[in-house]
Structure 1
Amino acid sequence: MLLCPVSWAGAAAPFESTRDYILWYRNFDSPAINALVNLALRKTPEYGSFRLVRSQDLSQGRVLRELSRSRSRLVDIANVATSRERERFLAAVPIPIDGGLLGFRVCVVRPEHLPLFREIRTLEDLEESGIRIGQGTHWPDTEVLRANNIEVVTHTRYEILFSMLRNDRFECFARGASEVLYDLEVEADPNLVIEPDILLAYAMPSYLFVAPEDKQTAHRLQLGMERAILDGSFAEFLRTYYGRAVQELDLPHRRILVLENPYLSEESGNVGRQTLESLRHRLDILSR
């Protein structure tokens, strides 16, 4: 795996018998992320029993602000894409929760827009096509796409972006390969489809984040994930929740357009580059 196991000997002094961890509502509602956080917490029984609690419906920008405030208890844990800035003011658990798949993006489109994508073979073709991509205002992906000369249309709320797509505010809602199938199951809209041929690929590790002073939770999550890596349950988690996406989206056979991400820290940039360099290998493993 990408990180060497870390020993947190002595970190688990006696804690309260049960602790509530407030997980950002988008993560709580995601079967994969909810399962991973539960897995990490179950692997660390010495920290005491726990209960995951769904947060209020907060935008991603609000979640990050609340996490940065040490006295706020609106949210304790959030899974979002990383950036140099986020790692400066929050505590990151630097293990990509989905094996790096968040940086592999496909387009959710309206069926009538599919012909726009058929002749795109390179990043330059995408730049010149006039295709607009919808993204969240506070998502790191937004600045990555703009840095690669792609026109981006934004909104602060994820749910509103689907309405904007339906109303022709943009032609592609770029979603991570690890999340798009669940998104469309929730939307249940036959007028939204996945473009079948293009894969946008850039270094974008997705981490669990906690408040900077909440070292206990950071230690527990990292130790739990490291134990899951060592005993094979993390690999099983990846196959269970993301193997289907790799197969159904046919990721190994798509046209890959590689974008640069200039906004990562040195550590996360190295993680992201390793992910991109092993792209085919990772996809082949997950598709088995």
Structure 2
Amino acid sequence: MNHCPRLLLVVVLMSLSIASALAAAAPAQPADSAESENRPQAQPEPELYRLWYRNYDSPPILSLLTLALSKTPEYGPFIIERSVEMGQGRALLELRGRSELIHIANVATSPDRERNLYSIPIPIDGGLLGYRVCVINADHAHRFRGVTSIDQMTDRGLRIGQGSHWPDTEILRANGAHVITHARFEQLFDMLLNERFDCFARGVSEVIFDLEITRHDQLIIEPELLLAYPMPSYFFVGPEDHATAQRIQLGMERAIEDGSFGQFIEQFFGYALKSLNLRERTLIELTNPFLSEETAAQGKRTLERLTQRLRSPMKDTP
């Protein structure tokens, strides 16, 4: 019985100690919570997208990719970087191999590319890549006068320059053209200046930008001819990069729906279409036997609509 008061005293002292500790801790909790609420929230790291260097250097392509990614804020912030310089063939191999050197490339489509890569099947320029004009030496313009077919170009000894890995190369050959190739895009301009070939066929949506970048005063755009064949140009990503493909496609679809894609076309290609005087040119229509069935149908419809627009009377309003 004599131990009970001591035991009671111990219990009381322990209780007081616990209560004191709790009381001391209690005021600190709201301060921590307030500090946590006021502390800036950590922002997610921007997603890095490496765009093939030739696309990055092209104002329309870089702007369209930026537009598409900006239309999908739920995917988070992003940064677009210029890839290391590499030819088109290697760029596509790097994409196929899931390389970190490159994540996105815009090129003309083909069945092989659609099989081995992940395509976003929306033509980035509305189908304009299939319309081609010739970049030529200014002194050779007379050699193209009166030409109305590929056969006539061949008969006159007019050779067309193209990239080694471009689908256009085989398309032009399949239509009877004499084609000279090189793996490096920039080298093709030097070859044209050195008369290794006579016509560097470039899309109407890209040719003006090409000449602004290369700055060769001796080269001009041939004023009379217009080659045309179905040639959709898509964004491509690696075969397993579903997230990037879905983001780009969703962004482009939203841009089409809200009208900003149409504004993009007018901003970057409206001047080119007017300045190239396409309606007055001799149209040489070619076939493209190297498209998948689905893409061929889409490309044919797009080409027909564009050709109809070219042949329709010019309107004063855009």
* Number of residue-to-residue matches in the alignment: 273
- Offset at residue 276 of structure 1 (A): 1.6
- 2:107 corresponds to 1:86: no
Structure 2: which amino acid aligns with 1:48?
G
- Offset at residue 127 of structure 1 (A): 3.1
Indicate which of 85, 105, 118 corresponds to 2:132: 105
**Residue 244 of structure 1 contacts residue 287 of structure 1 at CA under 8 Å; is this kept in 2?**
no
Q: TM-score, normalised by structure 1?
A: 0.92
Structure showing the higher helix proportion among its residues: 2
Query: 1:6: which partner in 2?
Result: none
Structure 2: which amino acid aligns with 1:248?
S
**Residue 229 of structure 2 contacts residue 286 of structure 2 at CA under 8 Å; is this kept in 1?**
yes
How far, CA to CA, are the matches of 2:269 and 2:198 in structure 1?
Answer: 26
- Offset at residue 282 of structure 1 (A): 4.3
Query: 1:9: which partner in 2?
Result: none
How far, CA to CA, are the matches of 2:102 and 2:68 in structure 1?
Answer: 18
How far, CA to CA, are the matches of 1:248 and 1:274 in structure 2?
Answer: 25
- Offset at residue 280 of structure 1 (A): 3.3
Query: 1:38: which partner in 2?
Result: 66
How far, CA to CA, are the matches of 1:287 and 1:158 in structure 2?
Answer: 36
Indicate which of 120, 123, 137 corresponds to 1:96: 123
- 1:55-78 C-alpha deviation (Å, 9 max, x unpaired): 0001100100000012x1110000
Query: 1:275: which partner in 2?
Result: 302
- Offset at residue 96 of structure 1 (A): 0.3
Q: TM-score, normalised by structure 2?
A: 0.83
How far, CA to CA, are the matches of 1:135 and 1:161 in structure 2?
Answer: 7
1:228 match: secondary structure: helix
Q: Which runs of 5+ in 2 are unaligned?
A: 1-42
Query: 1:68: which partner in 2?
Result: 96
Percent identical:
55
How far, CA to CA, are the matches of 1:154 and 1:111 in structure 2?
Answer: 21
Query: 1:201: which partner in 2?
Result: 228
How far, CA to CA, are the matches of 1:287 and 1:74 in structure 2?
Answer: 44
- 2:152 corresponds to 1:140: no
Structure 2: which amino acid aligns with 1:62?
R
Query: 2:55: which partner in 1?
Result: 27
1:144 match: secondary structure: helix
- Offset at residue 128 of structure 1 (A): 2.1
How far, CA to CA, are the matches of 2:262 and 2:305 in structure 1?
Answer: 16
Indicate which of 182, 187, 190 corresponds to 1:155: 182
Question: Measured at CA, do residues 286 and 193 of structure 1 come closer, stay the same or move farther in structure 2, by a change above 3 Å?
Answer: farther
**Residue 22 of structure 1 contacts residue 55 of structure 1 at CA under 8 Å; is this kept in 2?**
yes
Question: Measured at CA, do residues 160 and 87 of structure 1 come closer, stay the same or move farther in structure 2, by a change above 3 Å?
Answer: same
Structure 1: which amino acid aligns with 2:200?
F
How far, CA to CA, are the matches of 1:187 and 1:114 in structure 2?
Answer: 20
Question: Measured at CA, do residues 47 and 134 of structure 1 come closer, stay the same or move farther in structure 2, by a change above 3 Å?
Answer: same
Indicate which of 252, 267, 290 corresponds to 1:240: 267
Indicate which of 218, 229, 235 corresponds to 1:191: 218
How far, CA to CA, are the matches of 1:55 and 1:232 in structure 2?
Answer: 30
How far, CA to CA, are the matches of 2:284 and 2:245 in structure 1?
Answer: 34
How far, CA to CA, are the matches of 1:236 and 1:42 in structure 2?
Answer: 15
Q: Which runs of 5+ in 1 are unaligned?
A: 1-14
Structure 2: which amino acid aligns with 1:49?
P
Mapping of 1:254-269 within 5 angstroms? 254-269=281-296
Query: 2:21: which partner in 1?
Result: none
How far, CA to CA, are the matches of 1:31 and 1:152 in structure 2?
Answer: 28
- 1:215-252 C-alpha deviation (Å, 9 max, x unpaired): 00000000000000000000000000011110010112
1:278 match: secondary structure: helix
How far, CA to CA, are the matches of 2:317 and 2:118 in structure 1?
Answer: 32
How far, CA to CA, are the matches of 2:315 and 2:265 in structure 1?
Answer: 10
**Residue 67 of structure 1 contacts residue 76 of structure 1 at CA under 8 Å; is this kept in 2?**
yes
**Residue 135 of structure 2 contacts residue 202 of structure 2 at CA under 8 Å; is this kept in 1?**
yes
How far, CA to CA, are the matches of 1:40 and 1:245 in structure 2?
Answer: 22
**Residue 136 of structure 1 contacts residue 154 of structure 1 at CA under 8 Å; is this kept in 2?**
yes
- 1:40-90 C-alpha deviation (Å, 9 max, x unpaired): 0000000010000010001100100000012x1110000000001110100
How far, CA to CA, are the matches of 1:282 and 1:48 in structure 2?
Answer: 39
Question: Measured at CA, do residues 275 and 287 of structure 1 come closer, stay the same or move farther in structure 2, by a change above 3 Å?
Answer: farther
